[in-house]
């Protein structure tokens, strides 16, 4: 058993959607959440720029003696997690990636994957499509430049303008599922539903939470506290 905190980070408020699911599943754990709004959006950074940013955050969390690090960002996961695991072999990392496998397993025929440009062009995203898509399934990868930044701003008019710019051209294509491949995007589920009322919206947050629990159990790191855990927020603005 271990009562150290679970460390988490994202390029701002997006990863709070992951934190919400984690607190449902592991309510007695304590969390430290690093909201890196200063460097938002991650999806438009070069690989080396992003790796430098992420490494600094990981070092900060390790100094806080966290027992596991959750990369609550699809872009940072798909582009950095393998290198981080090599750099920090004694730390457990759990990442988030577009839930393409879920959409394929549930037999949706026409899936739209919304993600940052960085996530869309990553090798891991294309690997997920190749591994999971069947011949009778169509998957469209949509780079959503500016959407995470708009969500971060909290400006409703700006958010809706970006969403309509990105999505209106797909409304006639019988999209039956939409993968929300960025942890910011569940914040605007209602807005997306207004454009695609019949599409199933899929994110990987519950799956990430279950994986965190599995990792803590397998390493005997679950908290033995009977009290409801707390969250410490760190804002890098």
SS3 per residue for the chain:
CCCCCEEEEECCCCCHHHHHHHHHHCCCCCEEEEECHHHCCHHHCCHHHHHHHHHHHHHHHHHCCCCEEEECCHHHHHHHHHHHHHHCCCCCEEECCCCHHHHHHCCCCEEEEEECHHHHCCHHHHHHHHHHCCCCCEEEEEECCCHHHHHHHCCHHHHHHHHHHHHHHHCCCCCCEEEECCCCHHHHHHHHHHHCCCCEEECCHHHHHHHHHHHHHHCCCCCCCCCCCCEEEEECC
Residue in 73, 80, 104, 144 annotated catalytic: 73
Residue in 80, 104, 144, 182 annotated catalytic: 182
- Specify whether 182 is catalytic: yes
- Specify whether 172 is catalytic: no
SS3 per residue for 118-160:
HHHCCHHHHHHHHHHCCCCCEEEEEECCCHHHHHHHCCHHHHH
Give catalytic residue positions.
73, 182
């Amino acid at each position: 058993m271990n009562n150290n905190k679970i460390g988490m980070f994202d390029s701002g408020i997006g990863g709070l959607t992951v934190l919400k699911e984690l607190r449902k599943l592991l309510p007695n754990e304590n969390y430290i959440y690093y909201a890196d709004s200063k460097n938002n959006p991650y999806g438009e950074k070069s690989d080396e720029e992003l790796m430098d940013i992420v490494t600094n955050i990981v070092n900060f969390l390790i100094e806080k003696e966290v027992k596991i690090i959750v990369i609550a960002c699809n872009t940072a996961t798909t582009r950095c997690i393998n290198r981080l695991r090599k750099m920090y072999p004694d730390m457990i990392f759990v990442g988030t990636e577009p839930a393409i496998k879920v959409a394929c397993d549930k037999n949706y025929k026409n899936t739209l994957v919304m993600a940052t440009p960085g996530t869309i062009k990553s090798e891991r995203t294309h690997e997920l499509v190749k591994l999971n898509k069947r011949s009778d399934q169509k998957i469209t990868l949509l780079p959503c430049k500016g959407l995470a930044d708009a969500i971060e701003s909290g400006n409703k008019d700006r958010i809706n303008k970006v969403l309509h710019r990105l999505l209106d051209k797909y409304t006639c294509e019988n999209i039956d599922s939409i993968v929300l491949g960025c942890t910011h995007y569940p914040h605007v589920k209602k807005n997306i539903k207004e454009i695609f009322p019949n599409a199933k919206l899929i994110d990987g947050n519950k799956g990430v939470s279950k994986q965190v629990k599995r990792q803590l159990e397998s390493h005997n790191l679950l908290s033995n506290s009977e009290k409801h855990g707390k969250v410490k927020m760190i804002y890098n603005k």
